[in-house]
C-alpha cells in the first residue's frame, strides 16, 4: 500500500482502539473525514499530482481504505451503543406483571415543545436544516472551537456544570456547541438551526432557569451582513407570533462573533408597561447574535476571506413565555398540572 495511506491506516486503527465513548468516536471521525481538514481528504489532494496508472492505483487504494475505515467507525458506534444499552437494562428492573395504570385523560404537548416545533417549522420554511446536538459535550465544542479563551468566566465551574473527574466534559451551557460541528459535517455554504436544552449554574428568578431551551441558527455564505441577520430574526419571530414584533439591538460581547449584539423584544405580556417576565423594564432580553468570528470559520476548516457567516441564539423558553403570557419561568418545569392543563 502507498506509504501515506499506510500511515493513515495505522494511525486511524491505533486511535480507534483507544476510543471509549461516542463523543470520542465523533472526534475521531472528524479528524479523518471532516470535509475541509480531515486527514483522508488531505491525502486525496495527492491525486491531482498523479497521472495514468499511478493515479488509478492510488484512487482505488484510497477508496478501499475509506470504505474500510467507515465500516469500522459504524461497527464501533454500534458496539458502544450496545454496551450502553446493556448497562441500562442491567440497572433497570422491569416488573412485567405489574398492572397497567388506568389512563384517565390524554396528555398534550408542553408549551415549550409547541414553540420548539413551531420555530422548527418556520426555520425549515426558510430553507434551514434542523439538527439535534449532544447535551453532554466536550470543552472543545462548547468553548475552544468558539474562540472562548481558557480564562473566560463562562468556563468557570461557577457558571458551567462540569462532569466530576472529567474536566474535559460539561453539560453544554449553550447550543453554540453545534456551530463548528455542523460546519465540519456539512461544509459551506450552510443554513442550519439547532435548538436544544442547555444548563447553567444559575440562581433562578422569574426570568432565569438553570435548565432552559435555546434556539440557535447560523448562515454561512458569501457577503453575509447584519441586514441579513436582523431580517432573518424578525422573520422567525413574525412566523412564531403571527405579527410584527418590536425589537431593539444593543452591542453585546460574545467571543465567537464580531461584531456582536444582544436583541430585546418588546414584552408581549405587558406591552412594554412592565411585569415579572420583563423585570419591569418593558423589554425581554431575547437573544445574542452577530457575524461569525473569522477564527470560528477558520477553525472549522474554511477560508474566512471567502466565507462569512451570521449566527444568533434565542432563549426559546423566554419565547414560549411571551407566546403563552407566562410571567414566571419556574412554572414551566414545576410539573404543576394546574399550570400545565391551561395549554
Ligand atoms: C448565548 O448563549 C450565546 N451562545 C448566544 C449567541 C449565539 C450569540 C450565536 C452570538 C451568536 P446568552 O448567554 O446571552 O448567549 O443566552 C442567549 C439567550 O438565552 C438570552 O438572550 C436569553 O433569552 C436566554 N437565556 C440566557 N440565560 C437564561 C436563563 N438562565 N434562563 C432562561 N433563558 C436564558
Helix axes 22-33, 52-91, angle to 10 degrees: 170
Residue spans of the domains in the chain: they are: 2-91, 111-340
Percent of the chain with pLDDT over 90: 69
pLDDT for 109: 93
- Determine which residue's CA is closest to atom 30 belonging to ligand 1: 208
What is the number of the ligand 1 atom nearest to the C-alpha of 202? 30
CA 6 to chain centre: 35
Residue with CA nearest ligand 1 atom 10: 289
Cβ-proximal residues to 22 (8 Å cutoff; 6+ apart), any chain: 77, 80, 81
The answer to whether the CB of 283 is under 6 A from ligand 1 is no
Report which protein residue has its CA nearest ligand 1's atom 29: 208
Query: In CATH, which superfamily holds the domain spanning 111-340?
Result: Bira Bifunctional Protein; Domain 2 (3.30.930.10)
pTM higher than 0.75: yes
Rounded distance from Cα 272 to ligand 1 centre (Å): 21
Output the CA 172–ligand 1 centroid distance in Å: 12
First to last CA, the chain: 64
Pairing of strands 129-130, 190-193: parallel
Residue 261 near ligand 1, beta carbon < 6 Å = no
CB atoms inside a 10 Å sphere around CB 290? 23
pLDDT of residue 236: 97
Which of 177, 230, 287, 290 for a ligand 1 pocket mutation test, highest count of atoms within 8 Å of Cβ? 287
Nearest CA to ligand 1 atom 19: 315
CA of 197 to the centre of ligand 1 (A): 12
pLDDT the model gives residue 287: 97
Angle between helix 226-241 and 111-125 (nearest 10): 130
61-65, 148-152, 294-298, 320-324: which range is least confident on average?
148-152
**Protein residue with least CA distance to atom 25, ligand 1:** 315
What is the CA(290)–ligand 1 centre distance, in A? 13
Q: How confident is the model at residue 37 (pLDDT cuts 50, 70, 90)?
A: confident
Distant-in-sequence, close-in-space partners of 170: CB < 8 Å, separation ≥ 6: 136, 137, 139, 142, 160, 161, 162, 163
Q: What is the pLDDT of residues 45-62, one digit of tens each?
A: 888 888 888 888 888 999
Whether ligand 1 lies within 6 angstroms of the CB of 286 is answered as yes
Would you say the CB of residue 185 lies under 6 angstroms from ligand 1?
Answer: no
Give the model's confidence band at 250: pLDDT under 50 very low, under 70 low, under 90 confident, else very high: very high
Mean pLDDT of 25-45: 85
Q: Which of 116, 119, 161, 174 to mutate to test the pocket of ligand 1 (most atoms within 8 A of CB)?
A: 174
pLDDT above 90 (res 93): no
Alpha helix (H) residue ranges in the chain: 3-18, 22-33, 39-44, 52-91, 111-125, 139-142, 179-186, 226-241, 294-299, 316-324, 337-340
> What number is the average pLDDT over the span 6-31?
91
Of 159-168, 238-247, 281-290, the range with the lowest mean pLDDT is 159-168
| 296 ligand 1 Cβ < 6 A | no
Among 145, 117, 176, which Cα is nearest to 34's?
145
Asked if 123 contacts 193 with a C-beta cutoff of 8 angstroms, the reply is yes
What distance in Å separates the CA atoms of residue 248 and residue 263, rounded to the nearest whole number?
A: 6
Relative to the CA of 175, which ligand 1 atom is closest? 4
> In the predicted model, what is the mean pLDDT of the chain?
91
User: Which residue, 281, 288, 220, is CA-closest to 257?
Assistant: 288
pLDDT class of 104 with cuts at 50, 70, 90:
low
Note the pLDDT of residue 152.
80
Distance between Cα 265 and ligand 1 center (Å): 14
CA distance 308 to 303: 9
Q: Is the pLDDT of residue 154 over 80?
A: no
Cβ(173) – ligand 1 distance below 6 Å: no
Q: Give the model's pLDDT for residue 132.
A: 96
Pocket test for ligand 1, best of 180, 318, 329 (most atoms within 8 A of CB): 318
Q: What is the reported pLDDT for 103?
A: 67
| Residue 1 pLDDT greater than 60, yes or no | no
At residue 41 the predicted structure's pLDDT band, cuts being 50, 70 and 90, is confident
Q: Is the pLDDT of residue 225 over 90?
A: yes
Amino acid at each position: 500500500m502507498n506509504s501515506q495511506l499506510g500511515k493513515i491506516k495505522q494511525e486511524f486503527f491505533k486511535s480507534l482502539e483507544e476510543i471509549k465513548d461516542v463523543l470520542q468516536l465523533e472526534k475521531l471521525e472528524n479528524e479523518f473525514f471532516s470535509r475541509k481538514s480531515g486527514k483522508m481528504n488531505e491525502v486525496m489532494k495527492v491525486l491531482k499530482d498523479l497521472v495514468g496508472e499511478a493515479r488509478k492505483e492510488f484512487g482505488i487504494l484510497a477508496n478501499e481504505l475509506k470504505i474500510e475505515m467507515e465500516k469500522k467507525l459504524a461497527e464501533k458506534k454500534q458496539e458502544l451503543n450496545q454496551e450502553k444499552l446493556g448497562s441500562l437494562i442491567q440497572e433497570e428492573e422491569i416488573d412485567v406483571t405489574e398492572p397497567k395504570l388506568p389512563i384517565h385523560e390524554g396528555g398534550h404537548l408542553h408549551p415549550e415543545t409547541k414553540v420548539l416545533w413551531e420555530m422548527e417549522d418556520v426555520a425549515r420554511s426558510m430553507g434551514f436544516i434542523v439538527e439535534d446536538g449532544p447535551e453532554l459535550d466536550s470543552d472543545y465544542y462548547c468553548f475552544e472551537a468558539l474562540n472562548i479563551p481558557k480564562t473566560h468566566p463562562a468556563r468557570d465551574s461557577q457558571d458551567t456544570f462540569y462532569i466530576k473527574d472529567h474536566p474535559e466534559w460539561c453539560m453544554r451551557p449553550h447550543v453554540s456547541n453545534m456551530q463548528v460541528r455542523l460546519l465540519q459535517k456539512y461544509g459551506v455554504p450552510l443554513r442550519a438551526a439547532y435548538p436544544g436544552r442547555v444548563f447553567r449554574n444559575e440562581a433562578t428568578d422569574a426570568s432565569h432557569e438553570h435548565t432552559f431551551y435555546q434556539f440557535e441558527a447560523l448562515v454561512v455564505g458569501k457577503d453575509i451582513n447584519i441586514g441579513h441577520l436582523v431580517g432573518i430574526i424578525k422573520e422567525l419571530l413574525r412566523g412564531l407570533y403571527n405579527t410584527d414584533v418590536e425589537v431593539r439591538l444593543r452591542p453585546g460581547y460574545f467571543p465567537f462573533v464580531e461584531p456582536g449584539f444582544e436583541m430585546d423584544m418588546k414584552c408581549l405580556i405587558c406591552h412594554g408597561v412592565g411585569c415579572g417576565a420583563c423585570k419591569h423594564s418593558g423589554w425581554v432580553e431575547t437573544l445574542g447574535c452577530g457575524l461569525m468570528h473569522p477564527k470560528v470559520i477558520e477553525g472549522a476548516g474554511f477560508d474566512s476571506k471567502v466565507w462569512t457567516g451570521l449566527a444568533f441564539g434565542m432563549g426559546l423558553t423566554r419565547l414560549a413565555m411571551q407566546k403563552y403570557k407566562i410571567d414566571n419561568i419556574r412554572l414551566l418545569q414545576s410539573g404543576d398540572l394546574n399550570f400545565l392543563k391551561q395549554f
